[in-house]
Structure 1
Amino acid sequence: MLARLQSATGRDDLIEQMVLLPEPKKPFYNKPQSSKAVNLIVAYDGSPKSHTALDIAFWIAHQTRLATNAEVTVQAVYVLEDNQSSQAPNILSFPQQQPSLECQVSEVSKSVTLVLTQPKLQAIVTPLQQADIILWQARSLAEEWQGCFKSHLRFGCISTELAKVVESENADILFLGCNSVNHPMIEALGSNFPCAVLGIPSCIDE
């Protein structure tokens, strides 16, 4: 996937820049779906860097589908932290903390005929309203891609919830809106994360 991205952009350093955690040598799970199915997860919060990560995921998904005829799904995950004193700094600008919950309250696939409208901005926006706005932004970006897309809203520790979504969705790659292996979120995810983790290339600001 990254080789195709390098070829299309005329660069030879994207793999080195973008791979923040390599694919584990021994998968934590066996994929039940077809080997042609590809699942890409994006940690999304509506920030410019997470927009970039989502754009890269859509581009890679599109190129992969064209080159391999694989079934590719892109999924955006937004996590509301429930612990203000969390020891794992995040890559995202999350709103105020919510009561401790462990649930997935939003999973939307374009294959389902569900019409979602942009939430109206109000003078005081609750964390859940803000999350709805952010996920609406992700779904809006997905409109141009015309592929399978899902969005998730999770509650809890960011690294833990990302790992849960990766495992439950049998993800191949997790995209983060950061560009360094020294980022606190990479340390929080740990070296035994279930799938490869890609960031955004530092050259994107050049």
Structure 2
Amino acid sequence: MQIKPMLARLQSATGRNDLIEQMVLVPEPKKPFSKKPQKAKAVNLIVAYDASPNSHAALDIAFWIAHQTRLATNAQVTVQAVYVVEDNQSSQYPNILSFPQQPSLECQISEVSKSVTQVLTQPKLQTVVTPLQQADIILWQARSLAEEWQGCFKSHLRFGCISTELKKVVESEAADILFLGCNSVNHPMIEALGYNFPCAVLGIPSCIDE
């Protein structure tokens, strides 16, 4: 799946002409030339999600591109959110995948597990939120955003090194694009992923942070 037509449609819809230059942090890998006509295949968009504002923006962009791609090509498009719990609990990649300081209280409490509900309804008691409870809240938020899109959506909870786990999901799902909540090729996460990544890596436009 070529990503330039996707971004061209996004540029047209937003009235911008600089999104390709801003968003492509790692280009899609070159594939061997084949004379055989390619069959339309399912499109998989992976988003590194941690409920931060930047990852919200990345997920929104993924849904937007997915919607436009589905309308333009009739292809099956799946958006997948990946949250990684790091082994050392101390992220060196701020605003990409790291624990927020406080659990979000914006979700519908009745739809979250009982243990998480107790935390959400008693924030003043400073109840300790376990990593699994935090992950439950974060992935629930991603699923809530997906309901507005009304398309095919999957979520993944992984444990370990962020860059390693993202690559594993990208490879296992044969992803076409990985979306990150950053806007620079100089971000430490890009260096960690490497420039021989199995799919294109897109960030968010710099104007979102302005």
TM-score (norm. length: structure 2) = 0.79
Q: 1:52 to 1:175 in 2, by over 3 A?
A: same
Greater mean deviation of Cα atoms: 35-44 or 160-169: 35-44
Max radius of gyration: which structure?
2
Q: 1:81 to 1:49 in 2, by over 3 A?
A: same
Q: Is the 8 A contact 2:54 2:95 kept in 1?
A: no
Task: Give the C-alpha shift of residue 202 in structure 1.
Answer: 0.4
Q: 1:141 to 1:84 in 2, by over 3 A?
A: closer
Q: What's the % identity of the aligned pairs?
A: 91
Q: 1:19 to 1:104 in 2, by over 3 A?
A: farther
Task: Give the C-alpha shift of residue 35 in structure 1.
Answer: 3.1
Task: Give the C-alpha shift of residue 52 in structure 1.
Answer: 0.3
Q: Is the 8 A contact 1:50 1:176 kept in 2?
A: yes
In the alignment of these two chains, the number of paired residues is: 205
Q: 1:114 to 1:204 in 2, by over 3 A?
A: same
Q: Is the 8 A contact 1:100 1:155 kept in 2?
A: no
- Equivalent in 21, 24, 31 of residue 29 of structure 2: 24
**CA deviation profile, 1:154-190 (whole Å, cap 9, x unmatched):** 0000000000000000000000000000000000000
Q: Is the 8 A contact 1:108 1:149 kept in 2?
A: no
Q: 1:153 to 1:116 in 2, by over 3 A?
A: farther
**CA deviation profile, 1:42-92 (whole Å, cap 9, x unmatched):** 000000000000000000000000011010000000000113577777722
Q: 1:136 to 1:87 in 2, by over 3 A?
A: closer
**CA deviation profile, 1:113-156 (whole Å, cap 9, x unmatched):** 99999999982210100000000000000001111000000000
Unmatched 5+ residue regions in structure 1? none
Q: Is the 8 A contact 1:106 1:153 kept in 2?
A: no
Q: 1:145 to 1:20 in 2, by over 3 A?
A: same
Paired with 2:158 and 2:57, the residues of 1 have a C-alpha distance of: 21
Task: Give the C-alpha shift of residue 26 in structure 1.
Answer: 3.8
Paired with 2:25 and 2:127, the residues of 1 have a C-alpha distance of: 39
Coordinate RMSD, CA, aligned: 7.4
Q: 1:117 to 1:85 in 2, by over 3 A?
A: closer
Q: Is the 8 A contact 1:103 1:155 kept in 2?
A: no
TM-score (norm. length: structure 1) = 0.81
Task: Give the C-alpha shift of residue 25 in structure 1.
Answer: 1.4
Greater mean deviation of Cα atoms: 174-183 or 23-32: 23-32
Task: Give the C-alpha shift of residue 101 in structure 1.
Answer: 29
Secondary structure, aligned partner of 1:191: coil
Unmatched 5+ residue regions in structure 2? 1-5
Paired with 1:128 and 1:29, the residues of 2 have a C-alpha distance of: 45
Greater mean deviation of Cα atoms: 122-131 or 70-79: 122-131
